[in-house]
Amino acid sequence: MDSRLPPELRDGVRDAFPLLLGVIPFALVAGVAGVEAGLSPLQTVGLSVVVFAGASQLAAIDLLGRDAALGVVVVTVVVINLRMLMYSASIAPYFRDLSARVRAGCAYLLTDQAYALALARYTGDRELRRPYYYLGVAVTLWVVWQAGTVVGVVFGAAVPDGWRLGFAVPLVFLALLVPAVSDAPELATAVVAAAVAVAGAGLPFNAGLLAGAVVGVAVGIAADALLPGSGDGADATEGHR
């Protein structure tokens, strides 16, 4: 990679690469789904560029394929993406010195993956205020997502049937989770939450996923209070911040 690029930008690109194992099949499926739902190739790619959010993009494609009202499509996309409000509020302090135009660009590029990696990097280095790391991650994901969507549109018939979202989406978030687990309470939280979610996979309304999140948080709080040394680690982290 060009050594003239800011080192934080290069780090962001590098850290985004492990996530591509899940992003690429996800993008391919999004491209295929758009064409199969009756959208033209241009409409499918345009939707990908405008929305740039995997879950809501697929929801929009499904609704458009069912001839749902445009208002229903818009409301559905907005509701699915409401979590981005929390992400934005959380990461905004690191971008406060940037111009409104640059902040708007960062907001457009915001994804679960870019948020998670950038927040972990910025909270670990309070002196790092420039957006280069975030942009390294976010732009890499954007380029690969759009390219994957185009490939899915053009070569949809050649995309293996086994490359479904049941594989791609968990892989993306697993790639985010593993580097974030750094101590015993976090490991306990991840393991218990995953076990409860898997055990409740057959429950209606994704109740198993919700139960996993709630139980995982409770276990994490308990483990942080009870396991030896976990409190010291937390205090040290707060002191560093």
pTM metric for this prediction = 0.68
From the list 13, 18, 24, 88, the residue with the least C-alpha distance to 54 is 24
Q: Are 73 and 51 in contact (CB under 8 A)?
A: no
Angle at 153 between CA 151 and CA 154, to 5 degrees: 65
The pLDDT of residue 17 is above 70: yes
Euclidean distance between CA atoms 30 and 169, whole angstroms: 12
pLDDT in tens, 128-154: 657 899 999 999 999 999 999 999 898
> What's phi and psi for 98, nearest 5 deg?
-85, 160
**Cα–Cα distance, 190 to 234 (Å, whole number):** 17
Tokens in use for 83?
């979590």
